[in-house]
Amino acid sequence: MNLPGKVAIIGGGTWATAIAKLVLCNTDSINWYIRNENTIEEFIRSGRNPMYLSSVKFEISRISFSTDINDIVKESDTLILVTPSPYTKAQLKKLKSKALQEKFIISAIKGIVPDENLIITDYLKKNFKVPGDNLAVIGGPCHAEEVALERLSFLTIGCPNLRRAQMAADLLATPFMRTTTSTDVEGIEYAAVLKNVYAIAAGICNGMKYGDNLQAVLVSNAIQELQRFVNAANPHLRNICEPAYLGDLLVTAYSRFSRNFLFGTMIGKGYSVKAAQTEMEMIAEGYYGTKCITEINEKLQVEMPILNAVYNILYKRKSIPCELRQLAESLH
């Protein structure tokens, strides 16, 4: 396999648009799967994604668009998956059973497959028989909006094969994007799921106007909780203070660009889950991740008071003040 070869972006959202911008800095052209024909037509007309990051101008002559995911996959060697995790399964179901076996796949999906409770790489191994060496993940503190503004950002690319991890890192590296590599694929993926859960917790506290002091203690406890879980789920020599873990948690728990923090803030202000989701018009992946990780942890039995509090608030509709009061007693 001569990699990266022809690169395809699978997804048309904010993060997909930012990644396409990065990849086009390092390759002549890309294939791009966007499921909505009207979006593609407007994209071609204006040179901008009409739905997301419309400030970013693209050279349309360097992009081959299609609403047919099978055509895009067939014509590509490296696939970058950037669909919201709740919709990933439905999108990939459109593919022929052996379509992905010879592809190199980079998952930029910071979520988990609902109702399967599988991180993306495990889902691809199980359902599409993709070898582990053909799978990579993207992690780290990196908001799409800041990539669009070309602000200095950082990504970690995880792959069991470090040579391929470096290839993927080179594909995304620019003067404003620093990249590093790792072999901790599962740890990076689980951290990406959990940081969204903890951002919701931070947002709930913000919505309740609990202040910066509690927020700081919450986040410092969150990284310890995250470490306990990833060590139980996938023992691996890792430094939890690296950007792919702590860095990603910090930017998601504090940034105004964080949709999970915004979702939590709305819940803290009294919005119902449905009302918050409707008003945001974006996917807060931590909502789904909360349920999935809670169900996984039924087997692992890791001590996770922050996760439990968020689950009780979102899914059991328990009193927010009561849950936060109990949570505060467990923080240290």
- What does the pLDDT look like over 28-66, one tens digit per residue? 999 999 999 999 999 999 999 999 999 999 999 999 999
pLDDT of residue 282: 80
pLDDT of residue 64: 98
The CA distance from 297 to 303, in Å, is 9
DSSP-assigned letter for residue 97? T
Instruction: Establish whether domains 7-183 and 193-330 are of one fold.
Output: no
Q: Kindly report the average pLDDT of the chain as a whole number.
A: 96
| Amino acid (1-letter code) at residue 119 | I
- What does the pLDDT look like over 100-153, one tens digit per residue? 999 999 999 989 999 899 999 999 999 999 999 999 999 999 999 999 999 999
pLDDT of residue 257: 86
pLDDT of residue 1: 66
**In the chain, what is the straight-line distance between the N-terminal and C-terminal CA atoms, in Å?**
51
Pick the closest to residue 286 from 302, 273, 298 (CA basis).
273
Token pair 């119902």 is found at 272
All residues at 6 or more sequence positions from 49 whose CB lies less than 8 Å from its CB, including other chains: 12, 17, 39, 43, 56, 58
Token pair 């009302």 is found at 275
Domain 193-330 sits in which CATH superfamily? N-(1-d-carboxylethyl)-l-norvaline Dehydrogenase; domain 2 (1.10.1040.10)
The dotted CATH code for 7-183 is: 3.40.50.720
- In the structure, what pLDDT confidence band is assigned to residue 182 with cuts at 50, 70 and 90? very high
Token pair 């349920």 is found at 291
The two structure tokens encoding residue 141: 């503190």
| DSSP structure string for 244-296 | IIIIHHHHHHH-TT-HHHHHHHHHHTT--HHHHHHHH-S--HHHHHHHHHHHH
Question: Does residue 270 surpass a pLDDT of 80?
Answer: yes
Domain boundaries, the chain: 7-183, 193-330
pTM score > 0.85 for this model?
yes
